[in-house]
Structure 1
Amino acid sequence: MELRTLRVFVEVVRQGGFTEASRIVGATQSTVSKAVKQLEDELGLQLLDRVGHRSSLTSAGEIVFRRAQRLLAERDDLVTELDELRGLKRGVLRLGLPPIGSDVLFAPVFAAFRARYPGVEIRLVEHGSKRLEEVLRAGEVDLAGVLLPIPDDFAWQRMRHEPIVALMPGEHPMAGRRALSMAELAEEPFVLFEAGFALNPIIQDVCARAGFVPRVAARSSQIGFIVELVAAGLGIAFLPRMIAELRAHGSLRVVPVTDAGMDWQMALAWRRGGYLPQAARAWLELARAV
């Protein structure tokens, strides 16, 4: 049983005859008559009582007409819903973002996306970069904000490249320096992020090349808390420059670090070769523009 045949039958009933229905469906009267006869043969029941040029429904025809209307309406709804999805009038974007830098980098994209596609729901999860790689690989999100270097099984689009700077109390002896090397901080206590944050391996690798293992005074997953721990004199923290400059206040100083590799490179990644929804493609396009 084909939907096309059901549509022909429904129009015959609605128009009250084969001639009028043929004009609506764009077929000859003979084709319309054959379609109805094919449907009756397939069901093994007479659906129309033909009297001259007029036709009326039999009991079986009433059942088929009612059900056919419902099926055709569902089909029309399906087409409409898919058209809306293509036009991003509705849908879902599953997005994974890290706690570090998302407020600066992605809040403007959020605003632009919401204004352009108000019917698309954004389901947001927040984790450190390494954990986001895991949920992206598992297909739990469509896009994730991760730090370079990025595994080969992901495709990606660069978002931001910032140097990592030292954040220290204003009264620290090196707070007035224009720049410093990591080796000069070998005896200083560090305030780092919790395990799982991709910023930690960057700092630890630079420390290793400078010949020491950092002494960690405290760890946190909250940027604001780390900043306040530094202001309280607990140790030195390291943040991407744009974030450090926004967070620093009167009692803190931001000092560049000259070592190679002190770079924070944020990108949006997705599974290479995987299906990328239209909403995710639209987000990437806006991210490039914003």
Structure 2
Amino acid sequence: MDLLQLKYFQEVAKHQHLTKAAQELNVSQPALSKMISKLEQRLGYQLFDRTGRQIRLNNLGEAYLKIVENVFLELQKGEKELAFLTEKQNELISVAVTIPTILPQLLGGFLEHRPKARFRQYQAFADRMKTQLETGEIDVGISTFPIEGNNIEWYPIIEEEVLLAVPLSHPLAERKSIYLHEVENDPFIVMPPGYGFRQMTENFCAEAGFYPDFAFEGDETGVTYELVEKGLGIAFSPSMIRSQRLSSLKLAELNIIEPKCTRSVGLIWHKERTQTKTAQEFIAYTIEFLEKAKTSFEKQ
């Protein structure tokens, strides 16, 4: 179906005058007359009665006009629906995180700024996050490990200190700081293999000259420190977790003199992929959010 033919027919039917319709459409009268004739030839019947220079819709033309008007109405409805869906899609942000504990405060603050925004959230390992970025499954990632790759931008924001959480019954609980090798015989509570927290635990212990004894593996951060509180083991305690999840638990947190135990927190995104305005605003907001968190940690 030639929509231009239908539009020309609609205008001629509206004016029932070729010259006026041609002026409205900004085409020559012969070209318009030829277009209407082609439409009638394709349909196999006449839509207008012609008497000299007069042109009027006949019964078939009136019936066809209703059909054509419905076609354009449906097209307009379709365009509005697509515009709505596009707007809705543009408000969707897909984000992957290795530290989900920060999300309630982060997302809550952003939604106050951009109430129409919608989120699709993943908890992902570093390797998985990299793949999600490369395939376009996510717009941005919040990671505790630098992620490198072609066209991947790593933007580090926080270098946070990692302490050691021990139960109050632990022999070293009264100390303010320790050397990590002093707990080489203690059972550790960790995340399963693949998690950044697990890799961090293994790396720190390796720097101290030992491989940790894993007493418990679980993927829920809150449970990890509840188990520490119960005396079932010890665990590393990054600042961002400590400030939000451990305030109500009865346990001791020790500074680690050696080795230096810190981790980076930053954003990653795809450099070559065009971000929606909402995603751009979320990235800027997250950077500001983490910068403020960094200042807060430094004052503690």
TM above 0.5, yes or no, is: yes
Residue equivalent to 1:213: 211
Moved more, 246-255 or 125-134: 125-134
Q: Cα distance 1:42–1:240, how it changes in 2: closer, same or farther (>3 A)?
A: farther
- Distance in 2 of aligned mates of 1:75 and 1:114: 36
Cα offset, 1:227, TM superposition: 1.1
Change (3 A) 1:57 1:244: farther
Aligned with residue 232 of structure 1, among 230, 233, 238:
230
Q: Which residue of 1 aligns with 2:121?
A: 124
Letter in 2 for 1:145: I
Residue 221 of structure 1 and its aligned partner are, at CA, apart by 0.8
Q: Is the 8 A contact 1:91 1:121 kept in 2?
A: no
Query: Structure 1 residues 109 and 203 mapped into 2: Cα distance closer, same or farther (>3 Å)?
Result: same
Separation of aligned partners in 2, 1:90 and 1:135: 18
Q: Is the 8 A contact 2:193 2:199 kept in 1?
A: no
Query: Structure 1 residues 247, 187: closer, same or farther in 2, change over 3 A?
Result: same
- Work out the percentage of aligned pairs sharing the same amino acid: 24
Distance 1:8 1:114 in 2: 49
Q: Deviations over 1:208-267 (max 9, x none)?
A: 122110111111111111111010111111232021132223521223334346314232
Counterpart selection for 1:155 from 142, 152, 160 = 152
Q: Match of 1:112?
A: 110
Q: Secondary structure at the match of 2:162?
A: strand
- What's the offset of the Cα at 1:90? 5.2
Aligned residue in 2 for 1:223: 221
Structure 1's unaligned 5+ residue stretches are none
Instruction: Give the equivalent residue in structure 2 for 1:185.
Output: 183
State yes or no: 1:146 paired with 2:147: no
**Partners of 2:31 and 2:108 in 1: CA distance:** 54
Q: Which residue is 2:250 aligned to?
A: 251
Paired amino acid for 2:56? S
Q: Partners of 2:73 and 2:281 in 1: how far apart?
A: 30
1:12 — aligned with what? 12
Counterpart amino acid of residue 48 in structure 1: F
Given the two structures, how large is their TM-score scaled by the length of structure 1? 0.77
Superposition RMSD in Å: 3.5
- Is the CA contact (8 Å cut-off) linking 2:98 and 2:142 kept in structure 1? no
Q: Give the SS at the match of 1:180.
A: strand
Q: Summarize the Cα distance change of 1:35–1:283 in structure 2 as closer, same or farther, 3 Å threshold.
A: farther
Task: Tell which deviates more after alignment, 179-188 or 210-219.
Answer: 179-188
Out of 198-207 and 244-253, give the one that drifted further. Answer: 244-253
* Distance (Å, rounded) in 1 between the aligned partners of 2:174 and 2:24: 83
1:202 maps to 200
Q: Is the 8 A contact 1:130 1:198 kept in 2?
A: no
Aligned equivalents of 1:23, 1:255: Cα separation in 2 = 85
Partner of 1:253: helix, strand, or coil? strand
Measured in 2, the distance between the counterparts of 1:126 and 1:187 equals: 31
TM-aligned CA distance change 1:282 to 1:247, over 3 Å: closer
- Aligned-partner residue type, residue 120 of structure 2: R
1:89 positional shift: 5.2
Q: How far off its partner does 1:123 sit?
A: 2.9
Secondary structure, in 3 states, of the residue corresponding to 2:231?
Answer: coil
Please, which runs of 5 or more residues in structure 2 have no aligned partner? 290-300
The structure where helix makes up a greater share of residues is: 2
Which secondary structure does the structure 1 equivalent of 2:189 belong to? strand
- Number of the residue aligned with 2:265: 265
Q: Counterparts of 1:84-95 in structure 2 under 5 Å?
A: 84=84, 88=87, 91=90, 93=92, 95=94
> What is the aligned length?
285
Match of 1:97 in 2: 96
Q: Report the CA distance between 1:190 and its aligned residue.
A: 1.0
